[in-house]
């Protein structure tokens, strides 16, 4: 078998076999196939697409390039949730303890953030002593006892995907649906959960800016999960403005704790309940969406989700008292209000601009080796649809440096679009993609 022939077949629009896909993934991971040949194949895929079988085989080949977590030592049907990323997305911090409080085991692998804010693990490290560096045996034990654990992704998890994504990133071959979907799903499949719910974001602060593209990606990923034997669904959610009010690691943790106390922002909780409902139904804990949502709401009302979050933090070495005393979490030394200059309604809040402002403050990473300031961020005092007067505070900047705060100020002002009329309401939940509603085909 030769890589030259594989490239030529795909260039001519032919479907690659399982053996050919395994050959090229194994060879590239081991360094036996050079970058220039893999780049040529990636470009051929961008032009010719991949069919349903090819896409599945690519995801499985990348999954099998490293460790595949065997969760059979954990009792029950294990669930996991994945987000395609957004600004202010602290959904996992709220959702996972709610699910665990219902007795559904959450076995989650998460990464660190690269971009405007930290990832889930960075946010959890706001609790002194918290560690996601768990041995597999400890991970299994924590899920069995606490019903939830979050472990850092290891280097051995889908190494082919890491190497291939780095190549695609510099060869303009990122934006092809089969390649995107197989990349994401290779890691989810390697994580071993039985049930997966995907939060696919769309809007100015999302990877998929257009709603149609988000639905297409969701269908492709759900198709892979179904064909790999997983119970899976995807919820398409709005990311045209930041989710919730807080952007920045410690601020987002505090907002998650507020949410677990029943004081969460409406948009954040709408997304949490939509995702949670899918997980509860898939786990067989409820017979209807209404019953599933009511069960989730009860975990907030009776504080079992809050207590579960504290139990989880303590089990992974963190100071659980901060769950009940969030004022002890990292806090920035400087607070600078961003004031409004005209009367009207907040019609748009460009999520990407807010994310860039957070990055300027030091709340995110520009490279994998960058350090993060966990205390900084932005609190949005006004959201889309709110009426604002001259002099009102649109947002509050939390910074460690006045120069950084002033630099972020301009970004935030530009992010807000004020208009005289009330803007049309944009739904948070665009739709849900389930396996029974999709059909086969070739991804463009």
**d(C-alpha 292, C-alpha 194), whole Å:** 19
424-to-201, 210, 342, 385 alpha-carbon distances in Å: 20, 18, 20, 8
Residue 82 known to be catalytic: yes
Q: pLDDT tens digits for 199-236?
A: 999 998 888 999 999 999 999 999 999 999 999 999 99
Paired sense of beta strands 393-399 and 377-380, if any: antiparallel
Tell whether pTM > 0.85: yes
Q: Is 187 a catalytic residue?
A: yes
Tell me the C-alpha distance between 173 and 160, whole Å: 16
Residue 136 and residue 71 in contact, taking contact as beta carbons nearer than 8 Å: no
Q: Measured between alpha carbons, how far is 422 from 439 in angstroms, rounded to an integer? A: 39
Distance between CA atoms of residues 154 and 121, nearest Å = 13
Among positive and negative, which fits the CA dihedral 252, 299, 236, 285?
positive
State how far the Cα of 169 lies from the Cα of 155, in Å rounded to an integer.
19
Average pLDDT over residues 79-84: 93
pLDDT bracket for residue 371 (50, 70, 90): confident
Looking at the predicted structure, is the pLDDT value of residue 277 above 60? Answer: yes
The average pLDDT across 298-310 equals: 98
Q: Among candidates 250, 202, 176, which has minimal Cα distance to 351?
A: 202
Whether the Cβ atoms of residue 442 and residue 408 lie closer than 8 Å to each other: no
Distance (Å, whole) CA 142 – CA 131:
13
Token couple for 183: 């990349």
383 as an active site residue: the answer is no
Residue 442's pLDDT band, with cuts at 50, 70 and 90, is low
Catalytic residue among 10, 162, 187, 201: 187
Which one is catalytic: 10, 82, 116, 382?
82
What pLDDT, on the 0 to 100 scale, is given for residue 109?
A: 86
- Phi and psi at residue 109, in whole multiples of 5°? -110, 130
Q: For residue 274, is pLDDT > 80?
A: yes
Nearest to 138 by CA among 120, 117, 122, 152: 152
Tell me which of 254 and 155 has the higher pLDDT: 254
Q: How far apart are CA 45 and CA 257, in angstroms?
A: 44
Question: What are the Cα distances from residue 392, in Å, to 242, 246, 342?
Answer: 19, 18, 9
Q: Report the run of H or E that residue 373 belongs to, with start and end.
A: none
Active-site residue identified among 183, 186, 191, 375:
183
Q: What is the pLDDT of residues 317-337, one digit of tens each?
A: 999 999 999 999 999 999 999
Q: How far apart are CA 363 and CA 377, in angstroms?
A: 6
* Cβ neighbours for 80, distance < 8 A, ≥ 6 positions apart: 106, 107, 108, 109, 188, 191, 193, 195, 196, 197
Tens of pLDDT, residues 158-198: 999 999 999 998 999 988 999 999 999 999 999 999 999 99
- Residues 427-443 as b/e (b if ≥16 CB within 10 A, e otherwise) read ebebebbbbeebeeeeb
Q: What percent of the chain has pLDDT over 70?
A: 96
Contact 1, 23 (CB under 8 A): yes
pLDDT of 385 over the 70 cut: yes
Q: How confident is the model at residue 443 (pLDDT cuts 50, 70, 90)?
A: low
Could you say which of 80, 89, 161, 194 is catalytic? 161
Q: How many residues does the chain have?
A: 444
Catalytic residue among 22, 168, 201, 430: 168
How many angstroms from the chain centroid is the CA of residue 192?
Answer: 17
**Domains in the chain with CATH codes:** 3-63 (1.20.970.10), 79-156+165-325+429-443 (3.40.1030.10), 332-419 (3.90.1170.30)
Task: Name the more confident of 437 and 26.
Answer: 26
Q: Please confirm, yes or no, whether 116 is among the known catalytic residues.
A: no
Contacts of 9 (CB under 8 A, 6+ apart): 16, 20
Residue 35 is among the residues annotated as catalytic for this protein: no
């Amino acid at each position: 078998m030769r890589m030259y022939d594989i490239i030529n077949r795909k260039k001519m629009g032919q479907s690659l076999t399982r053996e050919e896909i395994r050959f090229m993934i194994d060879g590239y991971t081991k360094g036996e196939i050079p970058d220039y040949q893999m780049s040529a194949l990636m470009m051929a895929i961008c032009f010719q697409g991949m069919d349903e079988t090819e896409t599945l085989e690519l995801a499985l080949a990348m999954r099998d390039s490293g460790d595949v977590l065997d969760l059979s030592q954990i009792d029950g049907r294990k669930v996991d949730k994945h987000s395609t990323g957004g600004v202010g997305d602290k959904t996992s911090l709220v959702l996972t303890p709610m699910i665990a409080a219902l007795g559904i085991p959450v076995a989650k692998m998460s990464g660190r953030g690269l971009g405007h804010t930290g990832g889930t693990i960075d946010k959890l490290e706001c609790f002194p002593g918290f560690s996601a560096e768990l041995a597999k045996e400890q991970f299994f034990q924590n899920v069995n006892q606490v019903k939830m654990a979050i472990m850092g992704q290891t280097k051995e998890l889908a190494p082919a995907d890491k190497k291939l994504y780095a190549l695609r990133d510099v060869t303009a071959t990122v934006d092809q649906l089969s390649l995107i979907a197989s990349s994401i799903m290779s890691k989810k499949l390697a994580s071993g959960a039985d049930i997966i719910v995907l939060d696919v974001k769309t809007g100015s602060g999302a990877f998929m800016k257009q709603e149609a593209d988000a639905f297409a990606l969701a269908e492709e990923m759900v198709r892979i999960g179904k064909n790999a034997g997983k119970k899976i669904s995807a919820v398409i959610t709005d990311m045209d403005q930041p989710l919730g009010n807080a952007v920045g690691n410690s601020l987002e943790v505090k907002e998650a704790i507020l949410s677990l106390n029943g004081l969460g922002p409406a948009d954040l909780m709408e997304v949490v309940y939509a995702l949670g409902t899918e997980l509860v139904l898939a786990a067989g804990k409820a017979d209807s969406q209404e019953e599933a949502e009511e069960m989730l709401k009860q975990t907030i009302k009776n504080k079992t989700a809050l207590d579960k979050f504290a139990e989880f933090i303590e089990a992974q070495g963190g100071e659980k008292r901060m769950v009940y005393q969030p004022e002890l979490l990292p806090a920035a030394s400087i607070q600078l209000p961003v004031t409004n200059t005209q009367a009207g309604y907040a019609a748009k809040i460009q999520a990407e601009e807010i994310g860039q402002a957070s990055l300027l403050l030091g709340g995110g990473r520009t490279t994998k080796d960058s350090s993060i300031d966990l205390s900084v961020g932005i609190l949005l005092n006004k959201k889309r649809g709110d009426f604002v007067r001259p002099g009102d505070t649109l947002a509050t900047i939390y910074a460690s440096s006045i120069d950084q705060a002033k630099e972020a100020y301009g970004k935030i002002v530009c992010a807000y679009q004020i208009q005289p009329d009330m803007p049309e309401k944009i739904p948070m939940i665009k739709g849900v993609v389930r396996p029974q509603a999709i059909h086969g085909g070739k991804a463009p």
